[in-house]
Structure 1
Amino acid sequence: MSAFLASLRPGLRASSTAALSARSFSNSAAHNAAKMMITGRLAAEPELVATSSGKEMIKYAVGSSYGSRENRTISWFRVNSFVNEGPQRDYLLGLPKGTLVFVEGDASMRQWEDNEGRRQSTLSILQRSIEVLKRPYSGPDNESGESQQE
């Protein structure tokens, strides 16, 4: 009987190892990634820029605030988007300053050296999706399109 159990051990060991390495919450491949979800207002209209390789990208900044009115703190996030030509790109480029958005993206830290030789770090966010939650109020008293309420 012990020879029988000994013959099963390699199979038991392999199945327990496979169970430990499997991710029960996802059927996709494991990747190291940091995801960010940001709800905030556009600091300015998104702009189309060319990368050093000549590929076009859309850059914009989102301001997210927290705290009471007296102690409000705003965090600013720079977001990049590589949206192909078409209605999605036109839609994103047409969003006005002050639009309340929900952005999901991949986050990564990039380190670089400034002109004085000091090491700097920048949080880079690559947009995966964006949803407009509320357009800015642009009534008769506010022709600039800025938001009147928060």
Structure 2
Amino acid sequence: MSVNKAILVGRLGRDPETRYTSAGQAVCNFTLATDETYKDRNGERQKRTEWHRIVVWGKQAEIAQQYLHKGSLIFVEGRIQTRQWDDREGQKRTTVEIVANNFRMLGGRAEGGMAAGAGAGAVAGEAEPQAAAAAAGAEEMPSTEISDEDIPF
């Protein structure tokens, strides 16, 4: 038996970027910062930031593009994946990313998360977007091996 599961809570380091495969499948990429606080040898508190590459597919990718922005506080649940490709110079490149199965916006209205009001509350992961995200998560996730030919720009 094996388990590949990542759970993160952090803030977006940049606005999401969404592209579409040649088959019309949306794929959204963004970076997420998580912080760890620890004490060094001298007993002083230190903070270390870890950056994670997040990939979201399908309807969830479109929701992420619409509602997330740099600084948004979110919860992400997914799997860790290593991907390799050859860059334009022919060099073999490798990256580690979290392929999100689920994400939830946290925080207040200013942070793009839960907000008061009928329409605004739905934006935060209630009602329609939550159902759409659940439906998108229930679909079989396609392979994330995409080449430059799959992206139209």
Q: Is the 8 A contact 1:105 1:127 kept in 2?
A: yes
Partners of 1:92 and 1:45 lie apart in 2 by 8
Count of aligned pairs: 106
Q: Structure 2: which amino acid aligns with 1:65?
A: D
Gaps of 5+ in 1: 1-29, 139-150
Change (3 A) 1:90 1:116: closer
Q: Structure 1: which amino acid aligns with 2:103?
A: I
1:72-115 deviations in whole A, cap 9, x for unaligned? 21111111111328xx8346522221111110011111234556
Indicate the structure whose relative CO is greater, using CA pairs within 8 Å and at least 6 residues apart: 2
* Cα distance, 1:42 vs structure 2: 0.8
For normalisation by structure 1, the TM-score amounts to: 0.55
For normalisation by structure 2, the TM-score amounts to: 0.54
Partners of 2:109 and 2:103 lie apart in 1 by 16
Aligned Cα root-mean-square deviation (Å): 3.1
For the residue of structure 1 that corresponds to 2:58, the secondary structure is coil
Residue of 77, 102, 105 corresponding to 1:129 = 102
Give the corresponding residue for 1:82. Answer: 57
- Structure whose residues are more often helix by fraction: 2
Q: Percent identity?
A: 26
Residue of 100, 105, 113 corresponding to 2:73 = 100
For the residue of structure 1 that corresponds to 2:106, the secondary structure is strand
2:35 is the counterpart of 1:65: yes
Q: Structure 1: which amino acid aligns with 2:48?
A: T
